[in-house]
Amino acid sequence: MEGYVNEFINYLAVERGLAPNTLESYGRDLRQYQTFLQSGQLDFIKDSNRNTIVNYLSNLQSKGRAVSTISRNLAAIKSFYQYLVRERYLEKDPAAHLESPKLEKKLPKILSIAEVEELLKQPNAFLPAGLRDKAMLELLYATGIRVSELISLNISDVNLDMGYIKCFGKGSKERIVPLGSIAARCVHEYMQRGRQKLVRTYEEPSLFVNHHGNRLTRQGFWKIIKKYAMEASINKDITPHTLRHSFATHLLENGADLRSVQEMLGHADISTTQIYTHVTKNHLKEVYDKSHPRA
């Protein structure tokens, strides 16, 4: 099975242009499925049937895996078997009529405008790393791009004169995102006074680099935002996506239309963006309950 999995992952990378994190997730889930089959001495082609897959999903459930994890595993298995049938390695798709478990839609956690402002105040703009961190946080809140898109930015992707950045989202889809004046100024200051003190070579294309002078990683950014959230006394569970969620919610609260927000976030389907309308409705209810004398 290992060879077929590698071939499938290569297909997703070359033909579908999926991001490295997505490819890693597919590979991990399929190899976990492979381990399950091997433990039961099952052949993934000869013994591939609906019951085998259902037993695997039940096994994940018995281990206390979240519904979202089980759903993701099934999606990987279904895509894999579809590929095997299309390439004629299999005659029949054993996962064809399996449905994903219903996911409970969790509302994204956001920061208030006051909390965002407090977070953005924390980096020390007198230090190169502080200039970098300030630029990153301002850029994330100004554009709503994903953290993976932020750390993938190269200097050539930023146009400060015109006020936009070019980034590559899921499936390597390119999009142009407008950049606010404050974020543009912070990125300019970082590039002028901070970046050259962090890079080791002028040939480095990455916009944001770590103390080794290499491209900053997702894990590196995670540590940075956690540190500043603690310093800002924000007690919420902050994730790398928190500023993205806050960006979208604050735009909608202030009158932006859903289609524009969808475009800026790079969502292929507007139903993904609609989750933020539920957040704004919750916020309005909270404001009403606090403010109306007869609420």
Side-chain-facing half-sphere of 132: CA atoms under 13 Å: 24
Catalytic site residue 81? no
Among residues 132, 244, 245, 250, the one annotated as catalytic is 244
Catalytic site residue 283? no
Q: What is the DSSP letter of 13?
A: H
Catalytic site residue 146? yes
How many beta carbons lie within 10 A of that of residue 209, not counting itself? 22
Catalytic site residue 236? no
In angstroms, what CA-CA distances link 237 with 24, 108, 242?
25, 11, 9
In angstroms, what CA-CA distances link 74 with 71, 104, 251?
5, 16, 35
Write the burial class of residue 189 (CB in 10 Å: 0-12 exposed, 13-18 middle, 19+ buried): middle
What CA–CA distance (Å, rounded) separates 66 from 246?
A: 25
Among residues 146, 195, 245, 250, the one annotated as catalytic is 146
Among residues 170, 188, 193, 218, the one annotated as catalytic is 170
Give the residue numbers marked as catalytic: 146, 170, 241, 244, 267, 276
